[in-house]
Structures are given as structure tokens and as C-alpha cells.
């Protein structure tokens, strides 16, 4: 005759109530109002301008100053070029830190915060930072090598659900914050 295994570990209280692992139930989601197309466009433009000012502008200034120094007899790639590239790197790191911090906390880019819109999952739950970065940005950028992909991707916003292709890929929507 075989012994019946004891489902309780040795030393546990036989009179303790049963335990179950239960995930927290998400709070009921308020009705989601999709962001206007023009607001999303404005946020995208402002995000691009912020990136330009923090990353490309120092690079351009460094290159111009380097070219001016080269014209005056300085060796190419001199001090001014190095300073410009260092400022570019500092700007990129600062932009990444500010943007990723904001996205992780609120689901908003810097401009989306200003325009009072945010990205959430299509069921209304918060979108994870990984989902926002990888699916909405990296995968979309890789698909950008396909001719006309960028145009087609953006034209998806004119559908009733207002989701661009990168929103479809990441299962996200942009709503009023």
C-alpha cells in the first residue's frame, strides 16, 4: 500500500487558513478619450525639436567651430570638434535620462506631458517602459527601412481608432492624460 503524500510542508500549522496567490485587480479604468490627431502631431514635432536642441545642435556647433578652426590652420578634428562631440554625447545622455524617466513614470514623452496626452495599453492599463521603447520605437525604426513604410505608418492615424502602425504593433493607444 502506498502512502498518501502530505500536501503541507513539515512544520506548517494544520489549523492555518489556506493561502492563495492572487494578483491585484487593476482599478477600474475611467473612460478613455483618444487624443486628437493634431495634438499627437504637435507632440511629435515638439519632441523632435527637443531632441534636435539637445543632441544635434551641439554637434552642428562643434562641427562649425571645428571647420572655422581648420580654416585658421588648426588640425582637422581639433579641440573644438572634440568639445562639440562631448556636448553631443552629454545632450544625448541627458535627453535619454529625462525621456526614459518620464516614460516610465507616466507613459508620456517630454512633449506628451506638455500636451497632456499619454500612451496606455489598448485596454487602458499603463504601458510598460519596455513596450514603449522596444515595440513603439525600435521595431518601428527597423521597419522604417522598408520603402514608403513611414508614410503608410503615419496614415493609419486617420482610421477611426486613431492608432498608427506603431500603436498597433505595441498594442497601445494615445489618450488624454
pLDDT of residue 26: 59
Q: What is the pLDDT of residues 71-119, one digit of tens each?
A: 666 666 677 778 888 999 999 999 999 999 999 999 999 999 999 999 9
> Residue 95 burial (CB < 10 Å; 0-12/13-18/19+)?
middle
What secondary structure does DSSP assign to 22-58, as a single string? -PPPPPPPPPP-BPPHHHHHHHHHHHHHHHIIIIIHH
Domain positions in the chain: 37-176
117 backbone dihedrals φ, ψ, rounded to 5°: -130, 160
Helix (H, G, I), strand (E, B) or coil at 174: strand
> By CB neighbour count within 10 A (0-12 exposed, 13-18 middle, 19+ buried), where does 132 fall?
buried
Q: Is the pLDDT of residue 177 over 90?
A: no
* Mean residue pLDDT across the chain: 86
Q: Locate cell 502631431: which residue?
A: 41
**pTM confidence score:** 0.73
Among the listed residues 61, 95, 93, the one whose alpha carbon sits nearest the alpha carbon of residue 80: 61
pLDDT at 3 over 60: no
In whole angstroms, what is the distance from residue 126 CA to residue 10 CA?
41
Give the Cα separation of 103 and 174 in Å (integer): 13
Amino acid at each position: 500500500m502506498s502512502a498518501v503524500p502530505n500536501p503541507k510542508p513539515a512544520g506548517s500549522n494544520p489549523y492555518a487558513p489556506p493561502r492563495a496567490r492572487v494578483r491585484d485587480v487593476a482599478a477600474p479604468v475611467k473612460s478613455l478619450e483618444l487624443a486628437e490627431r493634431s495634438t499627437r502631431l504637435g507632440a511629435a514635432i515638439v519632441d523632435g525639436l527637443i531632441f534636435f536642441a539637445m543632441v544635434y545642435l551641439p554637434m552642428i556647433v562643434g562641427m562649425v567651430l571645428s571647420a572655422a578652426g581648420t580654416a585658421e590652420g588648426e588640425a582637422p578634428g581639433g579641440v573644438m570638434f572634440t568639445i562639440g562631440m562631448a556636448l553631443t554625447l552629454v545632450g544625448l545622455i541627458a535627453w535619454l535620462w529625462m525621456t526614459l524617466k518620464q516614460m516610465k513614470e507616466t507613459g508620456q514623452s517630454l512633449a506628451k506631458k506638455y500636451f497632456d496626452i499619454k500612451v496606455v495599453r489598448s485596454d487602458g492599463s499603463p504601458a510598460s517602459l519596455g513596450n514603449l521603447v522596444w515595440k513603439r520605437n525600435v521595431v518601428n525604426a527597423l521597419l522604417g527601412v522598408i520603402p514608403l513604410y513611414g508614410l503608410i505608418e503615419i496614415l493609419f492615424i486617420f482610421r477611426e481608432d486613431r492608432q498608427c502602425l506603431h500603436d498597433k504593433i505595441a498594442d497601445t493607444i494615445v489618450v488624454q492624460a
